[in-house]
Amino acid sequence: RLCRTVLSAGWNHVVPTARRSNQVYRGSIKIEPKIGVAGYSLLAIPVVAFGLGTWQVQRRKWKLGLIEELARKTELPPCELPDNWSDLGKMEYQQVRVTGTFDHSNEMYVSPRSRIQQESERYGGGGLISTANSGALVVTPFKLSGREETILVNRGWVPRNKIPPNTRQEGQVEGEVELVGIVRRPEKRPPLGPKDSRSGHTWHYKDTESISRYCNAWPILIDAIAASTVPGGPIGGQTNVTLRNEHFSYILTWYSLSAITACLWYMKYFRRMPLM
């Protein structure tokens, strides 16, 4: 420490100074930052979290566009089934009009299933009325008129006590009928679902390939719309056209994590930087 004496108005003043590396700092002390490898590694957390948040923004934009596209398809007027079945791959959720005859002797079920309330409430009446919400979907082979093919029609939902056909004879329509249905793709096996999709005449999910082999039909499935419901028959309109869209919550999660970890990193490391 070096002191210099200043003579001023008869008074001696002692002014302390600090000297290091040929530089003099008045009123502050230089502290070397010690971030190190660990510090820079921790910095990757807010950076990666910010990147994931930005990715979720793009995913949300894509999902909203997909939902809008599905809604647009369901609002299109019904069209005829194409002659080439491969064209159906681009027609999921689109309405088609079919004419033919039901084969009630080979009726099958997808259970357990809950009733989709929105469609049944929108429909003014006709189908089975039940306060229960657990039951099954009735899938019936449908022989197309004027064609050799037989397809599958998901006629709708019935409560558990109405699964046996003899409990709803009024709804077992005979003869040629015309109906409108929504084209559907096969369902995938649930992650915790049984490996065998079938148990007797009941399937645990809409395994179109397995169902079609069982009743000697084409693996083409349509969901009958609510307006196709007949008195005493299954409640139609059991198509859920909405998709899970939780990307906004993911965006908040990742951006919040990025902000919090960046703040913690700043408090731990950046405040050690030398004063400017």
Residue 249, pLDDT score: 87
pLDDT per residue as tens digits for the range 47-61: 999 999 999 999 999
pLDDT number for residue 3: 43
Predicted confidence (pLDDT) at residue 6 exceeds the cutoff of 80: no
Give the model's pLDDT for residue 118. 54
The pairs formed by 177-180 with CB atoms below 8 angstroms and a separation of 24 or more are: 177/99, 177/100, 177/101, 177/102, 178/97, 178/98, 178/99, 179/97, 179/98, 179/153, 179/224, 179/225, 179/228, 180/78, 180/95, 180/96, 180/97, 180/98, 180/224, 180/225, 180/227, 180/228
pLDDT of residue 58: 92
Contact of 50 with 254, CB cutoff 8 Å: yes
Strands 150-159 and 134-144 turn out to be: antiparallel
- The residue extents of the domains of the chain are 94-228
The DSSP letter of residue 195 is S
pLDDT for res 100: 92
pLDDT of amino acid 8 = 45
Give me the mean pLDDT over the 233-248 stretch: 82
Per-residue pLDDT reduced to its tens digit, 66-118: 888 887 887 888 888 888 888 887 888 889 999 999 999 899 998 888 888 75
The whole-model pTM stands at: 0.65
Choice between 229 and 33, residue whose per-residue pLDDT is larger: 229
Tens of pLDDT, residue by residue over 248-271, are 888 999 999 989 988 888 887 766
* Residues 175-227: tens digit of each pLDDT: 898 999 999 888 787 776 666 667 778 888 888 888 888 888 898 899 998 88
Mean per-residue pLDDT, 155-181:
88
Give the tens place of pLDDT for each residue, 119-154.
444 444 455 555 457 889 999 999 999 888 899 999
Considering the chain, what is the average pLDDT of its residues? 78
For position 139, what pLDDT does the model report?
Answer: 92
Asked whether residue 22 carries a pLDDT value surpassing 80, the answer given is no
The Cα–Cα gap between 97 and 213 comes to 24
pLDDT value at position 197? 66
The sign of the CA dihedral 197, 198, 199, 201 is positive
Q: Determine the pLDDT at residue 155.
A: 92
Residue 31 pLDDT more than 70? no
Distance from C-alpha of 233 to C-alpha of 127, rounded to nearest angstrom: 5
